[in-house]
């Protein structure tokens, strides 16, 4: 069976406000800009992208669970759930897909409560503090892992 040529892009709570929320931290790009960037970058590798954003944890969990049947990997910016959600971490671990964790800002240079990530130990790629372009980097690195060209 051929591996699926699709990535799941997950954006967590408040990322629907990109371009409006704290542009000094997150920039002026919108969620639509992020989704277009990821789709274009994935396409250069022959992959398509299914994107989901929700402010509701259960919606994200369902999308992650569904990905196990038709995706080769997951690019995720969990937003604030990074620091609070064991169930999100367990869902990512449970689907046994390679995961790229993305954060637009440098979370380690921000408030101390942002320094811990429940996702970190299940992600094979971490792109932090590169702004929206970091999503493209995450796609490239994750596809390298999927293709067996990198260990993560």
Q: What is the pLDDT of residues 58-91, one digit of tens each?
A: 999 999 999 999 999 999 999 999 989 999 999 9
**Strand 73-77 to strand 48-53: parallel, antiparallel, or no bridges (unpaired)?**
unpaired
Which one of the listed residues 26, 45, 65, 126 is annotated catalytic? 26
Compute the distance between CA of residue 47 and CA of residue 95 in angstroms, rounded to an integer.
Answer: 19
Annotated binding site: 77, 83, 90, 104-105, 114
pLDDT above 80: residue 138: yes
Q: How would CATH label the architecture of 6-146?
A: 3-Layer(aba) Sandwich (3.40)
Annotated binding site for substrate: 77, 83, 90, 104-105, 114
Which one of the listed residues 103, 115, 118, 135 is annotated catalytic? 103
Closest CA to 10 of 31, 29, 30, 33: 31
In the chain, where the domains are located: 6-146
**9-61 pLDDT tens trace:** 999 999 999 999 888 888 899 999 999 999 999 999 999 999 999 999 999 99
Taking the CA atoms of 11, 131, 84 and 67 in sequence, report the sign of the dihedral they define: positive
Whether 103 is a known active-site residue: answer: yes
Asked if residue 72 lies in contact with residue 100, where contact means CB atoms within 8 angstroms, the answer is no
Whether 26 is a known active-site residue: answer: yes
């Amino acid at each position: 069976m051929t591996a699926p040529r699709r990535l799941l892009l997950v954006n967590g709570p408040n990322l629907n406000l990109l371009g409006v929320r704290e542009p000094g931290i997150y920039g002026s790009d919108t969620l639509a800009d992020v989704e277009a960037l990821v789709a274009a970058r994935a396409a250069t590798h022959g992959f398509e992208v299914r994107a989901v954003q929700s402010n509701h944890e259960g919606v994200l969990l369902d999308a992650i669970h569904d990905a196990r049947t038709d995706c080769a990997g997951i690019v995720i910016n969990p937003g604030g759930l990074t620091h609070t959600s064991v169930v999100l971490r367990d869902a990512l671990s449970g689907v046994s897909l390679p995961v790229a964790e993305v954060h637009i800002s440098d979370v380690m240079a921000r408030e101390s409560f942002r320094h811990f990530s429940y996702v970190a130990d299940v992600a094979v790629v971490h792109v932090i503090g590169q702004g929206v372009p970091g999503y493209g980097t995450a796609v490239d690195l994750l596809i390298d892992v999927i293709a067996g060209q990198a260990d993560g």
